[in-house]
A = this chain, B = another copy of it.
Amino acid sequence: MIHQATVQIRTAGRGTYSIDLAVRGVLAKSGLVRGVVHLFVQHTSCSLIITENADPDVRHDLETLAADWAPDGDPRYRHDLEGPDDMAAHARSVITHSSFSIPFSEGQMLLGTWQGLYLWEHRRTGHLRSLVITVMGDHQ
């Protein structure tokens, strides 16, 4: 059985935004008990990650490294129509994730204790982001 919903996430610019509650809400509504929840962002300048949920410094340090992986305003970029963070955002999206799935059982996601789900906004300005959540599973 398939249950599908789209959730809007408003970001306030570059940074990570917890989406655990949004995903849990759709999973609960599905009424399914065992399977996987699939997440998909409909954008190429933000992405999805699973990372440590206890110490916000982890997500701060990820931003530090992301500036090594894909710096803003690299003079080699040809694509800079929307500013110095435009191409950096596309590249950060490509090396992280537009899509992944989490298993669930007894209606609960099987996340480890320290795993949090985040939408990572890579643009400097705020955006409204669409997250498609598809629950696939059995009723018992």
Where the two chains meet, the residues of A that have a C-beta atom closer than 8 Å to any C-beta of B are: 1-2, 4, 6, 34-36, 38, 40-45, 49-52, 55, 57-58, 60-62, 64-65, 69-70, 74, 76-79, 81, 87, 90-91, 93-103, 105, 110-112, 114-115, 130, 132, 134, 136-138
Contacts and interface: CB of A to CB of B under 8 A. Distances in A.
Interface on chain A toward B: helix, strand, loop, or mixed SS?
Answer: mixed
Interface centre among A50, A57, A102, A132 (most CB of B within 10 A): A50
A138 B94 contact: no
Given A57-B78, A61-B76, 19 more contacts: A4-B34, A35-B134, A36-B136, A40-B103, A42-B110, A42-B111, A42-B115, A43-B114, A44-B114, A44-B115, A55-B79, A57-B77, A61-B77, A61-B87, A61-B90, A62-B91, A62-B94, A98-B100, A100-B100
A111 B137 CA distance: 23
Nearest to A35: B2
Contacts of A78: 57, 60-61
